Amino acid sequence: MGVDDRTGAQDAGDDLLARVFLARVVEPGDEVAGRWVRELGAVEVVRRLGNGGPQLTGVTDKRWAGLCARAGLVEPGRDLAVAQDAGVRFVCPGDVEWPAQLDDLGDARPIGLWVRGHPNLRVLALKSVAVVGARACTEYGAHMAATLAAGLAERGWVVVSGGAYGVDGAAHRGALGATDVTVAVLACGVDRPYPRGHAELIRRIAEQGLVVGELPPGEHPTPSRFILRNRVIAALTRGTVVVEAAYRSGSLVTARAAQRLGRHTMGVPGPATSALSAGVHELLRGDAVLVTDVAEIVELVGGMGELAPDRRGPVLPRDLLEPAARRILAALPGNRAALPREIARGAQTTEDDAIARLYELRALGYVERHGDGWKLTRQAMISVRPDRGRR
Q: What is the CATH number that goes with domain 100-301?
A: 3.40.50.450
Q: Where in the chain is the domain with CATH 1.10.10.10?
A: 317-390
Query: Which pLDDT score, from 0 to 100, does residue 314 have?
Result: 59
Residues (pLDDT < 70) of the chain are 1-13, 52-53, 304-317, 380-391
pLDDT of residue 6: 44
Q: Where in the chain is the domain with CATH 3.40.50.450?
A: 100-301
pLDDT of residue 8: 42
- CATH fold of 317-390: Arc Repressor Mutant, subunit A (1.10.10)
pLDDT, tens digit, 9 for 90 and up, residues 3-49: 444 444 344 348 999 999 999 999 999 999 999 999 999 999 999 99
List of residues 6+ apart from 15 with CB closer than 8 A: 41, 42, 43, 92, 94
Confidence (pLDDT) at 95: 93
Q: What is the pTM of this model?
A: 0.79
Amino acid at 217: P
pLDDT value of residue 311: 64
Which H or E run contains 240?
Answer: strand 239-243
Q: What is the pLDDT at residue 91?
A: 96
**For residue 356, how many other CB atoms are within 10 A of its CB?**
16
Q: What single string gives the DSSP state of each residue in 243-280?
A: ES--TT-HHHHHHHHHHHTT-EEEEE---TT-GGGHHH
Q: Percentage of the chain with pLDDT > 90?
A: 71
* Integer-rounded Cα radius of gyration of the chain: 31
**Beta-strand pair 367-370/373-376:** antiparallel
